[in-house]
Amino acid sequence: MAISRILIANRGEIALRIHRAAHEMGIETVAVHSTADAEAMHVRLADHAVCIGPPSATESYLNTAAIIAAAEITGADAIHPGYGFLSENAQFAEIVEAHGLAWIGPKPEHIRTMGDKVEAKRTAGALGLPLVPGSAGAVETVEEAARVAEEIGYPVLVKAASGGGGRGMKVVPGPDMLESLIRQAKNEAKSAFGDDTVYLEKYLGNPRHIEFQVFGDGKGNAIHLGERDCSLQRRHQKVLEEAPSPILSEEDRSRMGGIVAKAMADMGYRGAGTIEFLWENGEFYFIEMNTRLQVEHPVTEAITGVDLVREQIRVAEGKPLSVTQDEITFTGHAIECRINAEDPFTFAPSPGKVTAYHAAGGMHVRVDSGLYAGYSIPPYYDSMIAKLIVYGRTREGCIMRLRRALEEMVIEGVKTNIPLHNALLHEDDVLSGNYSIKWLEDWLARRD
Ligand code: ADP
């Protein structure tokens, strides 16, 4: 089915990103927005716009009924959910399809399976992906947990089956703390997700976060587009991402890539997905799968030349993948800086009016952002206001260009974390690629 008008059920830079891909394909766009976003760039650029509610996301960007109504009123024939909000809500995907609209995302049953981490791990294991050692499924009793922990060895990690954003996760150093930390994790999970199911995993001491981009046509064909290294994190939030990973060999890439692509083909996966691993001492350990486009997808686009949103739209139209695995080549290096409206070192949010704005430019520099001079960053949503993505033929060249591009970015009126990125790009460990998921937190602690 050819898509002619896409409703974009999101806001900010990703709404703009989707609008751009759509217009390049000759497809019209419908923006839906809260009252706080009436002046947003994607709303101004979209062909049609519908206000769907007040600032609170629950009443607007998560308001299923209002979004479906907006699609019907504007005659949209497809919905793209972006990331966050309703993107990994299987029930919403089903509702969209039940209304005869194309869902630009994975099959609802796959969203559901991967959204439950116990189910996701079971599925990943059955598909042949290497897992973090841990309980076979949910742990029901403290005795059972103690037995599993003894077997895999302390420290262990208690994780919530419905977890996200690092919530409901507890590191257990030894047996005497097990019972109380399980109770705490369950309480946290219950109040955050309404589900107190927990499971146990070996706690890895100093891993890297390496994720693979996958893509399926929903009919048994799937490819991988290499990995992204997202080890620079603060409180489990990614700050800077790069592709390829500085530590992965070509052999490792094609071996792991082959495994994940085959897993997706076997599953009949449709659309874009990301399979997240921890990597330590040469071994990969599956942690979760995200059944959506990721924030950091542009670094993959930069080194492969594949437009992932265009590909998502094509697959939703029932078309085959536009590239075969053999046609995918990885050239050069790309790094993304997430630019947030926040204090660069205390991380306190800094919403407000942008008084001056100038985006970096020049060769191999991409800025994905809805900012403009005079725009007011609303306080209600995520603090990410721009992504700066830079490409270079080598990692060194990429870093030099990224420093130059950061110098050119002008965002006045609010505080941003540009000074943090600048400082990071002058650190020896970042320059050499020698960092793990603990590195940034340790570095920030040393600065205090
Ligand atoms: P969430 O969905 O809450 O983000 P993830 O399973 O993706 O949870 O894990 C988030 C982060 O927590 C990882 O990127 C990593 O930094 C850390 N983490 C998760 N599992 C482990 C583990 N077994 N050992 C050490 N760190 C872990």
Going by alpha carbons, the residue nearest to atom 2 of ligand 1 is: 164
Could you tell me how far CA 418 lies from the centroid of its own chain? 21
Helices (H) and strands (E) in the chain, counts: 15, 20
Going by C-beta distance under 8 Å and a sequence separation of 6 or more, which residues neighbour residue 143?
A: none
Ligand 1 neighbour 134 (Cβ under 6 A): no
Residue 417 has phi, psi (to 5 degrees) of -90, 20
- Write down the pLDDT at residue 166: 77
Three-state DSSP at 337 gives strand
Alpha-carbon torsion angle 423, 424, 427, 429, nearest 10: 170
Q: What is the largest CA-CA distance in the chain?
A: 62
State the distance from the centre of ligand 1 to the C-alpha of 415, rounded, in angstroms: 29
Q: How distant, in Å, are the alpha carbons of 20, 164, 271, 299, 340 from that of 387?
A: 15, 22, 23, 11, 9
Q: How far is the CA of 95 from the centre of ligand 1 (A)?
A: 31
Catalytic residue of the set 270, 292, 314, 366: 292
The token duo for 106 is 């994975």
Ligand 1, atom 9, lies closest to the CA of 166
Collapsed DSSP state (helix, strand, coil) of residue 432: helix
pLDDT number for residue 167: 82
Predicted pLDDT at 271: 98
What's the pTM? 0.96
**Residue 399's pLDDT is what?**
98
- Helix ranges (DSSP H) in 34-137: 41-45, 64-74, 90-98, 108-115, 117-126
Ligand 1 neighbour 288 (Cβ under 6 A) = yes
Site to probe by mutation for ligand 1, drawn from 88, 156, 169, 289 as the one with most ligand atoms within 8 Å of Cβ, is 169
C-alpha 316, offset from chain centre: 20
Report how far ligand 1's centroid is from the alpha carbon of 208 (Å).
Answer: 10
Q: Which helix (H) or strand (E) holds 7?
A: strand 5-8
Dist. CA 294–CA 261, nearest whole Å: 17
Is residue 228 annotated as part of the catalytic site, yes or no? no
- Residue 236: its pLDDT value, please? 87
User: How remote is the CA of residue 199 from the centroid of ligand 1, in Å?
Assistant: 13
Q: What is the pLDDT of residue 91?
A: 98
**Contact of 442 with 235, CB cutoff 8 Å:** no
State the pLDDT at residue 118: 95
- Tell me, using a 6 A CB cutoff, whether residue 133 lines ligand 1: no
What per-residue confidence (pLDDT) applies to 1?
Answer: 86
Sheet holding 270-280: strands in order across? 283-290, 270-280, 208-217, 222-234, 237-243, 333-340, 384-392, 365-369
**Residue 177 has which token pair?**
């703390």
User: Can you give the pLDDT at residue 190?
Assistant: 93
Cβ–Cβ under 8 Å, residues 360 and 409: yes
List per-block mean pLDDT (blocks of 10 residues) for the chain, which spans 448 residues: 97 98 98 98 98 98 98 98 97 98 98 96 95 94 95 96 85 96 94 93 96 98 98 94 97 97 98 98 96 98 98 98 98 98 96 98 98 98 98 98 98 98 98 98 93
User: Exposed (0-12), middle (13-18) or buried (19+): which is 343, by Cβ within 10 Å?
Assistant: middle
Our answer on whether the CB atom of 229 is closer than 6 Å to any ligand 1 atom is no
- Decide: 287 in ligand 1 pocket, CB within 6 A: yes
